[in-house]
Every structure is written in structure tokens, then in C-alpha cells.
Amino acid sequence: MSITFPRMFAIGGVPVTNIKEGLKSLSRTSDPGSFVGFRSVFPTLIHGSHAFEVASLLGLLDDERSELTPTGRAVAHSRSVVKTELAKARAILDRLLERFEAINADPDRLISINRVYLYGSVMRGDPLVGDIDLEIEASRGPAYANDLQAYLRGCLAFVRQFAPNYVPPVYMAESGKAMDHLIFGPRRAPILKGAMINVRNLSTIPAPCQLIYTIEHRIDLNAPILKTHPDYDPAIETSHEVPHLASFEVPEFGIPEPVDARFIAKFHPTGRIAVHDFASPTSNVLARLLRAHELQSSTLKVHVSGDTLDPAFAKRSGLTDDLSPKGTIVLTAETHRNELRSFMKIERKVAMVDGMLTVDLKVGDLATLQRRRTDEARADCLAVVAATIHMADRFHALALNRAGNNYPIEATVTTASSVPDAIGPLIQEFGSRLGGSLDS
């Protein structure tokens, strides 16, 4: 039973197809940077960061956010389908069951349909359904019950009626091909993609189901709904590569948190920011801003703990206090040969203030470590990076807010008394340029 979503379906403003691609990339690499920096899916790291946070809120990532949870694996392999009205799905199911009746009525039949279990959205009676989820138990017909070779010859002869040149690629492949054609006809309806023959998934998952057909008692659409398949045993461990889930519920997101600031460095262990990673060359507004305001090339880093800070920075009183990926962080800029080291400490939070969702950034400290005049070029480049992270917080909060309560929203920048007055307006100016490119 695979999860299905309506086509063009989005969660928190992110198309499910984009979340799926990000999850697949993460599953291959165990690197969150491969998710947020998936250039062909997300136009900027800000878009990737928002999708990554949505995936985390949905419970698709583990605690370290480097591996997928079972639900994450299921969503990564989900399908986007055109949803069908329940009445139409029920009509297709009725015709399929009538086909089973006709198969079993033939005394010389090649196969028998023994039991059919219904589960998933059609069983629940959802108004719109993606697939008809069925577990079909079939076997050789009575004439072939004790003669496997005669059965395989019969299957091959049947298959060659519609595929004259068919040669089984592996042993008994003709049996599967014959069963599929007999059960679903020459062309399986797309809505029946969730119908499986002799797969026995239901015995491995705790999913409600309904025995709607048996060869002895025929069709019974009013059969009781069972809590699990009769053969389900929770003590038996299974190793499904893709977990089978009955449904997927999108939760209420509530008041968002700031994003994980490490997105700007694609989660590189050192926090080093590679500016060219932000977006494609033609739309990399971060690179353009830095080129315009960085007089000397700097190594830019984001720090969410004191572990990655140079010891020279860590000596600064209070600099490493209360650092966290979604809260207070430190940005650093170091010129070639460490001739000049500058840092900016910023505090980030999202909160409801007087009925308004406020995305706030506060510059708590800004300084250079050398005894020389303040280097404005360093302050400018740090302000550009701060503005980028602030815009990521704003973008994430705005998207979740639109998908939820749609409160009025405001992005604010404040500074501590020890920080030059010009820094706040500078970050806001850079933020407006970044925001314009994101909204366009």
C-alpha cells in the first residue's frame, strides 16, 4: 500500500513532488545539504531550507535529520495521482469482483481467485481515493493443482495468445504474466495499481482490512472490517525497504520556529559558506550582493555552537553562550591569512506579538578582533549573510502561515546598544533585495 497524493498537492507551500525528491537525495547521502541544495528542485537554498523544515515537521526525518524515518521512506516513494470519486472507484471494484466470479465459474480455469482483502481509502469510504488497495490471493486452477509443469505450459500458451513471441525471462515468469492478464484484463485501470497478487503485505502491517471475496462465499461488500489481517503477527519483524502506510495526515503546524541556520552552509561541518551554492549563477542574488559589498575576499562561516569557532573568537566574553541552530548564532568573516577577523552574533525568534506573527532578528554583538578601526567591508558582508538567514526565517514563517492561520506577519531587525546604528537598516536593505528575488 503506497501513499498517494493528489497531483499538484502541496504541504506548507511546498509541492509534495519537491519534498519527495529532497527525501530521496537525503536517503542516498545522509547529508542534509544534499536536500536543501538540490539545485534542480529548489531555486535557492532558502527554498530548500523551507522544504527541509516542512519535512522535519511532518516527521519524515530522524532526530539527527540525516536519515529518513519509516514514514519518510514511504513519502519518498509515494505517488501523485488524480484522485477519483468514491462512487466511481466502487463501480470499478464491482466490475473487478464480477470478473473474479466469472474466472472461478470456469471448471477448467487456469487460476482460482481464493480471497480478496480490501484496505485503504476505499475501505474507509474517503470521498476521494487515489488507488483501490487490494490483496488478491490466487492459486492454480483445480485441474492444475498437482501438475506444475502442465500449469506452466497452460500459462505460456495463454500468454502467447496476446504476445506470440513471448519467452519467459526467468523461471515461472509466465505464471505471473498470465495471472495479471486474467485478473486485470489486457490493460489494468490506473486506479488498480494498488491491487497486489499474492504479495501478502497485509500480514506484515497493522492495517485494518475487509475480506470482501472468497471462493466459497463469493462477494461480500458488507463484511466486517478487521483490525488487522488474520495472519498479522506484531512479533514478527519485517524489513520492508518501503513501509506500507494506510494513510498520511498533514498536521497543524502552529507557530513556526526559525529555520536551521546551517542551511546557508549546506550543513557543512565547519559551517563554511560557499556562496556559489546559494542559487544558479543567473539568480544568485547573495553572490551579487557580496561582490558589491566585500572589498576583500573573506572566508564566511556560520556557527551554531562554540565547537566550530576559532579559539580566538571563543575568548570573546559571552560569544558562545546559548548558541543553537534555530536560535542564537555567530557569523564570522576571516580575510586571507587571518589578517582580519570579524564576527556578528545574532539572535533569532518567531513569536506572536499583539496578534501579529513577528519574525525578529537582533544583532547582539559585532566587532573585529584586531586593534584597528572597524572594518566596514567586513560588517557589510556579515550583514548580507545575516539578511539571507533572516529572509529564510521570514520565507518559512510566511509559507506556513499562509497554509495555516494566516496571521498578519512582520519581519523586524533590531540591534543591541553596542552595535552601530547603521547595521539594522543595512540588514533590512539587503533583506528587501533578497526578498524581492524570492517573491518574483
Contacts of 434 (CB under 8 A, 6+ apart): 46, 285, 286, 289, 387, 388, 391
5-10: which pairs have CB atoms within 8 A and are 24 or more residues apart?
5/78, 5/79, 5/80, 5/81, 5/130, 5/248, 6/80, 6/81, 6/82, 6/83, 6/128, 6/130, 7/80, 7/81, 7/82, 8/80, 9/80, 10/403
Residue 378: band (very low, low, confident or very high) from pLDDT cuts 50, 70, 90: low
Q: Of 11, 6, 4, 39, give the one whose Cα is nearest residue 280.
A: 39
Q: Looking at the DSSP assignment, which residues form a beta bridge with residue 14? A: 11
Mean pLDDT of the 33-56 span: 96
Q: What confidence score (pLDDT) does residue 375 get?
A: 47
Within 13 Å of residue 110, how many CA atoms lie on the same side as its CB? 21
Write the CA distances from 262 to 268, 271, 275, 315, integer angstroms: 8, 7, 13, 23
Residues of the chain with pLDDT > 90: what percent? Answer: 63
Tens digit of pLDDT for each residue in 278-289?
998 888 999 888
Q: What confidence score (pLDDT) does residue 371 get?
A: 47
408/203 Cα distance (integer angstroms)? 49
Q: What confidence score (pLDDT) does residue 291 get?
A: 86
Chain centroid offset of residue 346 CA? 29
CB contact at 8 A, 37 and 4: no
Chain centroid offset of residue 16 CA? 7
State yes or no: pLDDT of 292 exceeds 70. yes
Tens digit of pLDDT for each residue in 305-350?
988 887 777 667 677 778 999 999 999 988 765 556 788 999 999 9
149/340 Cα distance (integer angstroms)? 82
Q: What confidence score (pLDDT) does residue 345 get?
A: 93
Angle between helix 45-57 and helix 16-29 axes, rounded to 10 deg? 90
4/12 Cα distance (integer angstroms)? 17
88/389 Cα distance (integer angstroms)? 48
The strand pair at 195-197 and 133-140 is best described as: parallel
State yes or no: pLDDT of 374 exceeds 80. no
Mean pLDDT of the 375-388 span: 80
The secondary structure of residue 249, as a DSSP letter, is P
Q: What confidence score (pLDDT) does residue 4 get?
A: 76
Instruction: Return the number of other C-beta atoms located less than 10 Å from residue 99's C-beta.
Output: 15
Write the CA distances from 432 to 282, 294, 324, 397, 428, integer angstroms: 19, 19, 26, 16, 6
State yes or no: pLDDT of 411 exceeds 90. yes
Q: Is 225 helix (H, G, I), strand (E, B) or coil?
A: strand
Mean pLDDT of the 290-294 span: 80
Tens digit of pLDDT for each residue in 59-109?
999 999 999 998 898 899 887 778 899 999 999 999 999 999 999 999 999
The strand pair at 84-85 and 128-129 is best described as: antiparallel
Per DSSP (E only), the strands in 127-265 are 128-129, 133-140, 195-197, 209-214, 218-219, 225-226
State yes or no: pLDDT of 117 exceeds 90. yes
The strand pair at 209-214 and 218-219 is best described as: antiparallel
State yes or no: pLDDT of 36 exceeds 60. yes
241 or 136, higher pLDDT: 136
State yes or no: pLDDT of 373 exceeds 50. no
Chain centroid offset of residue 350 CA? 23
Write the CA distances from 14 to 19, 41, 66, 439, integer angstroms: 7, 11, 20, 15
Mean pLDDT of the 185-191 span: 91
Mean pLDDT of the 362-372 span: 77
State yes or no: pLDDT of 136 exceeds 80. yes
CB contact at 8 A, 159 and 178: yes
Residues in the chain, overall count: 440
The secondary structure of residue 416, as a DSSP letter, is -
Mean pLDDT of the 21-45 span: 95
Torsion angle of the four alpha carbons 320, 322, 327, 328, in this order, in degrees rounded to the nearest 10: -30
Element (H, E) at 316: none
Instruction: Return the number of other C-beta atoms located less than 10 Å from residue 354's C-beta.
Output: 6
Q: What confidence score (pLDDT) does residue 318 get?
A: 73
State yes or no: pLDDT of 166 exceeds 70. yes
Q: What confidence score (pLDDT) does residue 238 get?
A: 54
Q: What confidence score (pLDDT) does residue 322 get?
A: 87
Tens digit of pLDDT for each residue in 261-270?
999 999 999 9
